[in-house]
Structure 1
């Protein structure tokens, strides 16, 4: 994995002991939101639903909608896969963060 695609847990200034994420090893090189993802949530497009924001699985590149969207497909994808798909990054313009669904932690690009 190239350094530009490495992730680390975002520091939480409210904690004395910072939490860790055991799932960082799942992250693969970013898929750069395949052309279908640029059009929208893969699952919402298939069923004719709407979404608010998009998240890309850092394991397989699946593009789903965020937890604020009616169908929450990114979250469903992470849990339906039986593990191994716990990390997703925002593919919204200007956003550079990811989320671990298993540990409920924000991630940021590694230094």
Structure 2
């Protein structure tokens, strides 16, 4: 048995060859319809965004962390909706705020 820093069995969480464990948040996501391709908070504040992310729990669209407002992360902090996806054609990039990594 392999223990982590908290003394918990880490064997079941480990991936193959030391890979990061699979994010189970993506298994729990419903199918959602995205909101309009704009960050409402940025528009209200007269700000621009670098790129947009869509919440995969409710479809809320907001600016990414590298934008001035970082409203997608603020949405996660307010709602605990864990995964956001880059809004764009053919984009497969998804971010889990809980695990702080791409999934």
Greater share of strand: 1
Q: TM-score, length-normalised on structure 1?
A: 0.68
The structure whose Rg is larger is 2
Higher RCO, Cα 8 Å, sep 6+: 1
- Superposed, which structure 2 residues align to 1:40-51 within 5 Å? 40-51=38-49
Q: Which residue number corresponds to residue 72 of structure 1? A: 70
* Deviant stretches of 4+, over 4 Å: none
- Aligned partners of 2:25, 2:64: CA distance in 1, in Å? 19
Structure 2 residues not aligned, in runs of 5+: 1-16
User: Per the alignment, in what secondary structure is the counterpart of residue 64 of structure 1?
Assistant: strand
How many residue pairs get aligned? The number is 88
Alignment of 1:1-111 (within 5 A): 16-31=18-33, 33-34=34-35, 37-38=36-37, 40-81=38-79, 83=80, 85-107=81-103
Unaligned 5+ runs, structure 1: 1-14
